[in-house]
Amino acid sequence: MDIRVLQYFLTIAEEENITRAAEKLNMSQPPLSRQIQQLENELGVMLFERGRRKIQLTEAGYFLKNRSLEIIELVSRTKAQIRDRCDGASGTIAIGSIETASSSVLPLLIAQYKKSYPKVSFDIWNGNSDDIMERLDKGLIDLGIVRETFNSQRYESIWLPKEPWVVLLHRETRLGQLPGNEIDLAALAQEPIIIPSATARGEEIRQWFHSVGVTPQVFCVYNALLSAIVLVREKTGAALCPSSAQNILSDKAIVCKTIIHPSVASSPVFIWKKYKYLPAAVTNFLQSVKKSLQ
């Protein structure tokens, strides 16, 4: 199994038709069919269910599709890193970031860095902390921005400033109509709440409520903040998120209140794998981040 065959496989999966895939690859159909048959024989599984008009992936085929995308991305990044000049004046920095950081602190840090290194480009991917650490472990990104807490034994880190947590409420709901810009945490126990999907974050939020003797009614978790905002707009619940979420919020039907009693805060954190080679451009970017924080 090599990269070329995996690219053939992905093209067929995308086109759902051998003939169209062969045309897209500028090759004839018989050798393409043979390559896929040899791949299936090598793996000992069927990758496609062949129909009269189109072919569809089997369960094994879906698994290989996801892995193939990761493998090809990793190969591409490896080639780019090898071509990267030692002074770090060019190249691409791949960053996986929690959504709130990519809409607040990250653009400012990139803008500062680009003043010194205008030829360096960026590849930014958004996800929750669990997703970002998985991509770091697989070598698909250079750096991650997660929210505390994380496994400090596996990653190096640079801590960014703390920010308070807030709740997003529809202004026509009972809690949304309360005066002031703050709200007691215990008051939220009476409402269905929407919280981030990262495992550690969910456990932390539940502990906040338990510390004041109440149990939260978690009815939904979100990976993308926009999903939580839409749910709040539909008056289905209250969404908990860091205050930097207000950079994304543009819906006038939603109000934002800072959580108090207790006040809760957390830090976004730059992380990268320990003992891992970092391209010069990435090292220079981290130095720029540290300088900005000073």
The residues spanned by each domain of the chain are 3-79, 86-161+268-293, 163-265
Return d(Cα 185, Cα 181) in angstroms, integer.
13
Give the three-state DSSP class for 231: helix
Answer whether 0.85 is exceeded by the pTM. no
Task: Write out the CATH class of domain 3-79.
Answer: mainly alpha
Domains 3-79 and 163-265 are alike in CATH topology: no
SS (H, E, C) 40-97: HHHHCCCCEEECCCCEEECHHHHHHHHHHHHHHHHHHHHHHHHHCCCCCCCEEEEEEE
Mind listing the pLDDT tens digit of every residue in the chain (294 residues)?
A: 788 999 999 999 999 888 899 999 999 999 999 999 999 999 999 999 987 778 899 999 999 999 999 898 888 877 776 766 556 778 889 999 999 999 999 999 999 999 999 999 999 999 989 999 999 999 999 999 999 878 888 999 999 999 999 999 999 999 999 999 999 999 999 899 999 998 889 999 999 999 999 999 999 999 889 999 999 999 999 999 999 998 888 888 999 999 999 999 999 999 999 988 888 899 999 999 999 998
**What does each C-alpha distance from 163 to 72, 175, 274 come to in angstroms?**
37, 22, 26
User: Which residue is associated with the tokens 């929750």?
Assistant: 128
Return d(Cα 79, Cα 81) in angstroms, integer.
5
Tokens of 84: 């990267």
H helix intervals, the chain: 3-15, 18-24, 29-43, 59-83, 99-102, 105-114, 129-137, 199-211, 225-233, 280-293
**What does each C-alpha distance from 166 to 42, 246, 265 come to in angstroms?**
53, 9, 9
Q: Which CATH superfamily is domain 86-161+268-293 in?
A: Periplasmic binding protein-like II (3.40.190.10)
**What does each C-alpha distance from 27 to 12, 33, 181 come to in angstroms?**
13, 11, 64
Instruction: Report the Cα 60 to chain-centroid distance in Å.
Output: 25
CATH number for the domain whose boundaries are 163-265 = 3.40.190.10
